[in-house]
Amino acid sequence: QCGGCAGLEVKRPGPRVWPRAKSRRRQQPGAAFTAFAMRNLKLLHSLHCNRWQGLGTPQCLTVRSDTGTVLVGSDLGITELDPRTEQVIKKISLVEEAFLPDDGTGCIVGIEDLPDQESVCIATASGDVVLYNLSTNQLECVGSVDSGVTGMSWSPDQELVVLITGHETIIMMTKDFEPVTEVKIHQDEFGEGKFITVGWGKKETQFHGTEGKAAAVRKLMEIVPAVPWDDHKFRVTWRGDGQLFAVSAICPLTGSRKMRVWNRECVLQSTSELVNGLEQALCWKPSGSLIASTQRKLNKHNIVFFEQNGLLHGEFPLPFNKDQVKVQELLWNNESTVLAIWLEDLKSVDEGNKDGQQNTYVQLWTVGNYHWYLKQSLHFGCERIVALMWDPENPYRLHVLCSGWCYLSYNWHWSTDRSKGDDRNDFANVAVINGDKIHVTPFRQTVVPPPMCAYQLQLPCPVNQIIFSSDPQRSNDLAVLTADDRISIYQAGDDVKQNSTIVADAVGGSGLTKHMTAPKLVKTFRINFEEETSDSLKPLKLHFITWVKENRFLGVFQGLNTSQSVVCQLITTLDENQEEELSIRTPVTVDRQIINLCHNHKTQTVALELSNGQILRYLWDTESTEPCVQPWRSAAGCLVQFSQPCVQIALCTIEGEEMVLGLTERFRFFVNVSEIASNVTSFIVYDEFLLFTTHSHTCRCLNLRTTSLKALLNLPSTDSQPNDETVRRVERGSRIVTVVPQDAKLVLQMPRGNLEVIHHRALILAQLRKYLDSLKFKEAFECMRKLRINLNLIYDHNPKVFLENVENFLKQITSINSINLFLTELKEEDVTKTMYPYAPDSTTSVPETANKVDTICDALRTTMERINPHKYGLSILTCHVRKTTPELETALQKVHDLRVNPPSDPEAVSAEEALKYLLFLVDINQLYDYAVGTYDFDLVMMVAEQSQKDPKEYLPFLNKLKKMETNYQRYTIDKYLKRYKKAVEHLSKCGCQHFTELLNLVKDQKMYSDALKLFPAKSQEYKDISIAFGEYLIEKQCHEQAGLIFARCGDCEKALDAFLLCCSWQQAFCMAAQLHYTEDKMINMARIISGRLKEQRRYSEAALILEQYAKDYEEAIASLLEGGAWDESLRLIYKYERTDILETNLKPSILEAHSNQMAFLDSQKTLFIHHKSRLKIVWEMKAQERFLDEEMADGPDSDLYSEKSSLWSAGGMSSKYSHSNSRISARSSKNRRKAERKRYSLKEGSPMEDVALLQALREIICTVDKLTGEVHDLLKVLVLFGFNDLASELQQVLEGTLQLLEKSITDIWLSDAKRSTLCPVLGPDSTANSIAAAL
């Protein structure tokens, strides 16, 4: 005896092998929040093993998650079965060790696979807890209970085990079978979670409504004992996290069932409220706080849910009569998405059944939008189920063990059953299974959120599969596979109200049902399996049923062994009673399990997916040969095989090759052997489009006709462009339900279950392009208006076709308002390149049209005027107004014509309507001004009367204008409208009495050139305007142009003054000659001009004027010597025989120039050396700072530093300087230049000192380079007069300076990687000119 656990004898197990940890019962997060309201459970594959035999009679089973084998417990021992090969791996007898009696009366009450210990734990009814090591084949008893064991349950993490003893106690032990505690099941206390009354009033004092005061009297509920067929066994269930477990037991006092919740320390937490009719089944939802059980009421049988505190929380009824069935067990899958219910008949339905066996059922229920759906119903007939469980690893794999050693497993997956048509005749039907009803919603006609639907189809028994016809002409027809292995055919075209088997749901009103059509039942076929064996009668033997032709189906079933599958055809035949049935024909055996079948209704291709991911091509529609299967090969001849099995596949054509698309359970998306994405949640192939949603909350729509496989492979790395039509953001967790063909509607279901209909931009634009290509302008226009697509696409899609079919466009768009709307939205932008970019499949490009808006307006206006100008009057006005330069005058004139000559056409608009419409398009003030600008006062009055203007504003002005002379009237109007060019033209025709006014207007508006064109060149008006023009040019400092204007009009005096101001001495002497200046005046003017030229360092020109006009040869020579024109000065000295000047002026000037050049070269050389040395120091300092920054960036505190080094070359510290001067630099250009000079300061330590030094060095090089010409002339004259030493000295100094500069260029502008970033234009190949040009 051990501790306080009376009756438990613990035996220490021997040494065991502890393998690597295995994953146990993984639960995918968020799975419980996925809505399944619009999806059905699709059977991927099933296994049926009945050709094996174990020990004794089977009683229970467990699954080894690491090997995939099944451990079956029986009255004699344990048998391990490999379902894939249908081979018995081992048999472990528990009789030999006396754990079970040999007479077959033994019972195993619990069995659990322990992957961490590579063992299996077995609990027997006699009280033994046995551990069998599957590696060493050792069998040992780790404990025994004297009173026996009635149940065993391990926690989900397999750290604790709970035993229910014969004394109705709970024994909790660790995984090493060390006792933790032992408590009694039946306790009087409620538990630690007992409710607390806070005393907020009593029932007697509360208001009870219509029930009256009698409701205040507490009524005692009558306690009803458990139902007679209750097995009185204890049920134990754990919460998914293993922190709590619940126990259902028969109360010994009342005889009714109660549920109690215990924590991980085996402390009672709560006790359920009194629930009469509560039955034995119990299962805790893994990812929630609800505990499922069953309750039998007076008139129905319910599945009920308890909260953790023991209170009821929701229920739903079972589709059976009150006393028809009993629920054996309830089982949640690990994702908490499917609830399996194991039921048995209370009495035999078959009266001829002498053994009295009951029928057995397994139902799979799901919930969506708070509505429970019966998705699958498996009818096992008289085959009794002994054990049922969900796979611990695969959440949608169900294991079934039947009596007679028959084992079955079913693998499910969620799929959407939708119609497959591509044209407008398809209603976009989506069908949802709900027991013996099918919820159908045609999304083309209506959008109904689940759990409602458009209408329901009532079937005689539960539905297992829905098959829509693959015939495009009959895509609304559907076939239904029911649980009794019959297929019912429904044909579209019946009225909802006329068929008794159709129940209108959300469209039950008289509004929609009149236009709602539903399929009607035309015939029902029984599937003939030829041999009525137990194998043929197992549930869902035939799956993947596909309707390929009117009387032909395809299907898949298991072969002779579990590793084989058979694909066959179901063809309608007549049985012995001349009734139609479906017979299996041309079976083809495949040596692996088929887990998917896909049919392409366009190419009639059928693809099969095997369990290893390989794709096979099923050749079924062959008349010459028998159907067969072939490996699917790509265009390159490679076998197509997915790296992982896919739960959904589809066929499509990419680049002319038919390819297979596949999506795995882990959201990996494949095209043939290539993985395209790893975050795809759903996809659909519609017509030539592939649509899929992703975990990044986007929906992509790809045109397979223009997409290549290479582009698909680059899809994950491609960032979507701002106007990328293929990408659309969607709500988190959205899944595709269906696409409405030819309507661009995409129906999505959100995680919470509601539906959303979106119009994906890619689908819209593709549909619009089809409309426009087929010249369906009306459909395109209506679609664009409804979905807010820019109407420019009508023209931009194909400008040439539109212009050739303008008349067709007008015939389809009959509404004038629609034509006007199209015109008002026109803009020069090509929307096919900006808003809706599209890569056409043809390489021919459409030429761009210049002045697009004008072209369209002219084309439409011309066509409308030819067809019916009165009908399209408003649209014609719109064409005039919408042009790049609005033709408002023409539009106003057309309105005026309508007023003067009203048309008799009944379709014509009146002048008032046209004017009101024009006022809608154009601003009233602008239109009023245009009307005034026509000089038509009747038109002005018409516009003014239709506007909101006050008559006091315009009547005095119009009356004043009417009194004026015509030209002066138009001048006044043009001046009012600020049309000054026209105003000057009209004023020039008013005579000389208004010339002063004209001249003032010209001066005010600076219209001198325009005014000069209006008068003859010899007229006084021309001269006056020219003089005013010249004075204006002098004010603008344009003296030479002013002089030319004055000279042209004959005012030589003003022209002379202007030429003197700009030192245009040639024109000045011309004007002086025309004015007949005397010699003295000419000499005086010559001296003035020469002085100004010397100030401008134009010494040669000054000497020429002094020589030729002032006759002062000595002063001319002096000017030449000052300017360094040594050769020209010598010419004049010898010409006028003034050799005395050689000694007095020439030689001193030469010596002075030599001295100045020597001093200047020395200063430039010294300054250059200084700047060069300083530049080297600055570079070293900055290199050291950059090195320190890099060290800090790589150090342990690198995250604290910014990437300063990477930004150094872009300005680094200069940004600090520029910020401090931002206010100054914004004042004026002068201050900006000043701030720029301060920025590149040579002051030591300034931020941009290195750049300033480079600029200074560049200036020195350019200056010395320009000096070589002057030094060359000076050297010649020094040699001429015998100053050889001085010439040699000057030449040496110049050569030394040039050599220094040449050598320094490669040192300063070295093409180093660090320095090239600072000054990329500099380098060893740079010259003075290139550096100067770059900087």
Per DSSP, the residues of 773-814 read: HTT-HHHHHHHHHHHT--TTHHHHT-HHHHHHTHHHHHHH--
Res 359 pLDDT > 70: yes
Record the tokens describing residue 600, joined without a space: 């392409």
In whole angstroms, give the CA distance from residue 178 to residue 1212. 71
In whole angstroms, give the CA distance from residue 920 to residue 767. 34
User: What are the φ and ψ backbone dihedral angles of 161, each rounded to 5 degrees?
Assistant: -135, 140
pLDDT range class, residue 764, cuts 50, 70, 90: very high
């007939």: which residue's tokens?
381
Res 791 pLDDT > 90: yes
pLDDT of residue 6: 43
pLDDT digits (tens, 9 = 90+) for 673-721: 999 999 999 999 998 899 999 999 999 999 998 888 888 888 876 656 6
Range in 188-197, 337-346, 534-543, 1075-1084 the model is least confident about:
534-543
In whole angstroms, give the CA distance from residue 1326 to residue 1316. 13
Residue range 646-668: mean pLDDT, rounded: 93
Using DSSP, state whether 1274 is helix, strand or coil. Answer: helix
Res 1212 pLDDT > 60: no
In whole angstroms, give the CA distance from residue 859 to residue 324. 79
Res 369 pLDDT > 70: yes
Residue range 591-606: mean pLDDT, rounded: 92
Give the residue with greater pLDDT, 771 vs 1218.
771
What residues contact residue 403 under an 8 Å CB cut-off, 6+ apart? 57, 58, 383, 384, 385, 386
Res 224 pLDDT > 70: yes
Res 1013 pLDDT > 90: no
Neighbours of 416 (CB within 10 A): 21
pLDDT digits (tens, 9 = 90+) for 97-133: 889 998 888 899 999 999 999 999 999 999 999 999 9
Res 844 pLDDT > 50: no
Res 631 pLDDT > 80: yes
Among left, alpha and beta (phi > 0; psi -120 to 50; other), residue 24 is beta
Q: Are 528 and 573 in contact (CB under 8 A)?
A: yes
pLDDT of residue 1229: 60
pLDDT of residue 862: 94
pLDDT of residue 1237: 57
How far from chain centre, in Å, is Cα 804? 38
Res 535 pLDDT > 80: no
Query: 193-202, 798-807, 884-893, 1293-1302: which has the highest mean pLDDT?
Result: 798-807
Share of the chain above pLDDT 70, in %: 85
Among left, alpha and beta (phi > 0; psi -120 to 50; other), residue 78 is beta
Give the residue with greater pLDDT, 988 vs 234.
234
Packing angle, helices 924-933 and 966-976, rounded to 10? 160
Res 1135 pLDDT > 90: no
pLDDT range class, residue 1213, cuts 50, 70, 90: very low
In whole angstroms, give the CA distance from residue 686 to residue 670. 17
pLDDT digits (tens, 9 = 90+) for 143-185: 999 999 999 999 999 999 999 999 999 999 999 999 999 999 9
* Closest to 926 (Cα-Cα) out of 888, 958, 964: 888
Range in 265-269, 389-393, 1001-1005 the model is least confident about:
1001-1005
Res 509 pLDDT > 80: no
Residue range 577-601: mean pLDDT, rounded: 88
pLDDT of residue 875: 93
pLDDT range class, residue 1207, cuts 50, 70, 90: very low
Q: How far is CA 1194 from CA 1203, 1314, 1317, in A?
A: 11, 19, 22
Cis peptide before 451 (omega within 30 of 0): yes
Residue range 1081-1086: mean pLDDT, rounded: 87
pLDDT of residue 2: 41
Among left, alpha and beta (phi > 0; psi -120 to 50; other), residue 680 is beta
DSSP characters for 845-886? PPPPPTTHHHHHHHHHHHHHHHH-TTTTHHHHHHHHHTSSS-
Q: How far is CA 1112 from CA 282, 1021, 1066, in A?
A: 132, 45, 19
Residue range 1289-1297: mean pLDDT, rounded: 88
pLDDT of residue 1232: 62
Residue range 722-748: mean pLDDT, rounded: 89
DSSP characters for 117-147? TTEEEEEETTSEEEEEETTT--EEEEEEETT
User: Average model confidence (pLDDT) for the chain?
Assistant: 83
In 267-396, the DSSP E strands lie at: 268-271, 278-284, 291-296, 301-306, 312-317, 325-332, 339-345, 360-368, 371-381, 385-390
pLDDT range class, residue 1205, cuts 50, 70, 90: very low
What residues contact residue 1092 under an 8 Å CB cut-off, 6+ apart? 1063
In whole angstroms, give the CA distance from residue 96 to residue 98. 5
pLDDT of residue 1315: 47
Describe the strand order of the beta sheet including 594-600 as a list of residue ranges. 594-600, 605-610, 615-619, 628-631
Range in 129-133, 334-338, 451-455, 1131-1135 the model is least confident about:
1131-1135
Neighbours of 1016 (CB within 10 A): 8
Range in 123-132, 196-205, 1260-1269 the model is least confident about:
196-205
pLDDT of residue 200: 64
Residue range 407-412: mean pLDDT, rounded: 94
pLDDT of residue 504: 78
Res 1036 pLDDT > 50: yes
pLDDT range class, residue 949, cuts 50, 70, 90: confident
Residue range 451-479: mean pLDDT, rounded: 92
β 517-528/580-590 pair status? parallel
Handedness of CA 1089, 1094, 1098, 1100 (dihedral sign): positive
Residue range 331-347: mean pLDDT, rounded: 92
In whole angstroms, give the CA distance from residue 657 to residue 654. 5
Share of the chain above pLDDT 90, in %: 41
pLDDT digits (tens, 9 = 90+) for 903-921: 888 888 888 888 888 888 8
Half-sphere exposure of residue 1043, counting CA atoms within 13 Å on the CB side? 22
pLDDT digits (tens, 9 = 90+) for 857-898: 999 999 999 999 999 999 999 999 999 988 888 888 888 888
Residue range 386-390: mean pLDDT, rounded: 95
Q: Are 607 and 629 in contact (CB under 8 A)?
A: no
Res 352 pLDDT > 60: no
Res 1330 pLDDT > 80: no
The three-state (H, E, C) secondary structure of 733-782, written as one string? CCEEEEEECCCCEEEEECCCCCEEEEECHHHHHHHHHHHHHCCCHHHHHH
Using DSSP, state whether 365 is helix, strand or coil. Answer: strand
The three-state (H, E, C) secondary structure of 1290-1322, written as one string? HHHHHHHHHHHHHHHHHHHCCCCHHHHHHCCCC
Res 353 pLDDT > 50: no
In whole angstroms, give the CA distance from residue 965 to residue 972. 10
What single-letter amino acid sits at 345?
D
pLDDT range class, residue 1209, cuts 50, 70, 90: very low
What single-letter amino acid sits at 134?
L
Half-sphere exposure of residue 843, counting CA atoms within 13 Å on the CB side? 0
* Closest to 1271 (Cα-Cα) out of 1295, 1246, 1304: 1295
pLDDT range class, residue 400, cuts 50, 70, 90: very high
Q: Are 299 and 347 in contact (CB under 8 A)?
A: no
Q: Are 399 and 342 in contact (CB under 8 A)?
A: no
How far from chain centre, in Å, is Cα 956? 63
